[in-house]
C-alpha cells in the first residue's frame, strides 16, 4: 500500500498541474472508485464540472484537492493498495485500469487529463466537506488553510507535518501496552507510516517491533521519531518505494527506495549493521522484518 512518501510524491507532482485549473469535465468509468462519495457517478461528475481546483494537500496517506470556488469542499483521494493519479495529454488513450478521468484547463499549462487508475479497486475518490482542524494549525502538508476533509479529520498528523506534536506522541506511546510497531501503524496515533517504513525505522532505531510501547524510554522514543523522519525523508528523495508497476508517480515513473531498504523484504540477507540474518515473522495479515541481534526484545 502506498505510504506517506508515495502519496507525497503524487501530491507534489499534481500541484503545478492542478492548482488554479478549471475542470472542463469529469468522466466516471467505474463507480467502485467512489465508495467514499455520497452519491453516484453522475452526481460526482456534476459536482465537479465547471469548478476550479486549488493547491493539493496531504495528511498521512490521504490526499485532497480543494475546490477553490466552493469555499469548503474538496476532492479527497485515498490510493488504497494500487491507486494511481496520472497526468496525461488531453485525449490520451485509456489507462489499463482507468476508473475516473478529469479533463482540466490550467491557465499556464493548458489542457491536461488527470487520470485515477486502480487495479485492485481499493482506492477511492469523493467530494467532501472541509471542517476546521482541531488544533487550529494548517490541515496538512501543502496547505496553509486550517481545514481538513471530514473523512480525514480523525487521522493524526504525520511526523513530517510542521504541526506534528512530538510531546503528544510521546505521551500516547507511554500509555500503550501493545507492541511499538502496532502503535506506529495506528493512524489515530501517527499517520502515514505503513509496514515498510515501520520496519525500516525500527531497524534504524534498534528497537524490536514487539517491544511494549509503554516500556520505551523517552530517549528511545525520541530516537525512533528521528529515525522515522529520516526514513520518510530519504524515501521521498528517492521517489518512494516501488516493488512492482502499481506504485508510480504522476508521470508513471517508479520510485527507487526499494534499493535502500535495510530490513523490509530482506529475509535471510545479512544485516547491514551486524551481519546477522534478517528474519521475517507473521504480523497480523502482514509480516515484520528485523534483525534479531540488533533489535533484541528486552
Q: Render pLDDT for 109-131 as a digit per residue (tens, 0 to 9).
A: 999 999 999 998 999 999 999 99
Is the pLDDT at 157 greater than 70, yes or no? yes
Q: Establish whether 286 is a catalytic residue.
A: yes
181 is in an annotated binding site: no
What does the CA dihedral 195, 198, 204, 208 come to, rounded to 10 degrees? Answer: -90
Among the listed residues 3, 95, 200, 227, the single catalytic one is 3
| Residue 173: strand, helix, or coil | helix
Task: Report the range of poorest mean pLDDT among 4-8, 11-15, 229-233.
Answer: 4-8
Whether residue 263 has pLDDT greater than 60: yes
Q: What is the DSSP string of 12-61?
A: HHHHHHHTT-EEEEEEES-GGGGTTSSS-HHHHHHHHTT-BB---EEETT
Paired with 112 in beta bridges are: 104
Tell me the sheet residues that pair with 114.
87, 102
Active site residue 270: no
| DSSP secondary structure code for residue 215 in this structure | G
Q: pTM to 2 decimals?
A: 0.90
> Pick the catalytic residue: 11, 58, 59, 61?
61
Least confident window among 159-168, 201-210, 234-243: 234-243
**Spatial CA neighbour of 249 closest among 133, 100, 86:** 86
Alpha-helix runs per DSSP H in the chain: 4-18, 41-48, 166-174, 180-185, 195-205, 218-237
Based on the residue annotation, tell me whether 3 is a catalytic residue of this protein: yes
CA distances (Å), origin 52, targets 16, 102, 138, 213, 242: 14, 12, 21, 45, 32
Cβ within 8 Å of residue 244, ≥6 positions away: none
Task: Assess whether 2 carries a catalytic annotation.
Answer: yes
37-91 confidence digits (pLDDT tens): 999 999 999 999 999 999 999 999 999 999 987 679 999 999 998 899 999 999 9
The residue count of the chain comes to 298
For residues 80 and 35, is the Cβ–Cβ distance under 8 A? no
Ligand-binding site membership of 171 (annotated): no
Q: Which residues contact 191 (CB under 8 A, 6 or more apart)?
A: 4, 59, 60, 61, 155, 156, 157, 158
Of 65, 150, 73, give the one whose Cα is nearest residue 116. Answer: 65
176 labeled binding residue: yes
CB 153 within 8 A of CB 102: no
Q: What is the pLDDT of residues 234-257, one digit of tens each?
A: 888 877 654 444 445 555 555 445
Percent of the chain with pLDDT over 90: 82
Amino acid at each position: 500500500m502506498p505510504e506517506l512518501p508515495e502519496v507525497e510524491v503524487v501530491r507534489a507532482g499534481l500541484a503545478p498541474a492542478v492548482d488554479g485549473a478549471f475542470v472542463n469535465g469529469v468522466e466516471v468509468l467505474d463507480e467502485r472508485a467512489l465508495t467514499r462519495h455520497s452519491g453516484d457517478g453522475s452526481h460526482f461528475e456534476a459536482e465537479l464540472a465547471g469548478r476550479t481546483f486549488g493547491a493539493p494537500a496531504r495528511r498521512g496517506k490521504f490526499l485532497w484537492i480543494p475546490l477553490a470556488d466552493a469555499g469548503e469542499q474538496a476532492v479527497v483521494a485515498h490510493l488504497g493498495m494500487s491507486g494511481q493519479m496520472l497526468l496525461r495529454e488531453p485525449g490520451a488513450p485509456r489507462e489499463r485500469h482507468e476508473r475516473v478521468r478529469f479533463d482540466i484547463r490550467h491557465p499556464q499549462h493548458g489542457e491536461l487529463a488527470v487520470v485515477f487508475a486502480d487495479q485492485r479497486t481499493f482506492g477511492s475518490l469523493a467530494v467532501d466537506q472541509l471542517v476546521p482542524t482541531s488544533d487550529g494549525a494548517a490541515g496538512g502538508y501543502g496547505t496553509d488553510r486550517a481545514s481538513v476533509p471530514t473523512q480525514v479529520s480523525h487521522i493524526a498528523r504525520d511526523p513530517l507535518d510542521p504541526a506534528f506534536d512530538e510531546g503528544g506522541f510521546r505521551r500516547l506511546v507511554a500509555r500503550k501496552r501493545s507492541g511499538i510497531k502496532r502503535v506506529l501503524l495506528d493512524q489515530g496515533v501517527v499517520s502515514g507510516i505503513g509496514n515498510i517504513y515501520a520496519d525500516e525505522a525500527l531497524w534504524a532505531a534498534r528497537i524490536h517491533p514487539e517491544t511494549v510501547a509503554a516500556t520505551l524510554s523517552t530517549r528511545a522514543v525520541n530516537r525512533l521519531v528521528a529515525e522515522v523522519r529520516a526514513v520518510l525523508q530519504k524515501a521521498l528523495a528517492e521517489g518512494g518505494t516501488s516493488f512492482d508497476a502499481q506504485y508510480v508517480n504522476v508521470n508513471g515513473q517508479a520510485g527507487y527506495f526499494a534499493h535502500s531498504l535495510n530490513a523490509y523484504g530482506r529475509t535471510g540477507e545479512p544485516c547491514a549493521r551486524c551481519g546477522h540474518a534478517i528474519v521475517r515473522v507473521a504480523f497480523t495479515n502482514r509480516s515484520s522484518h528485523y534483525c534479531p541481534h540488533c533489535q533484541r526484545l528486552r
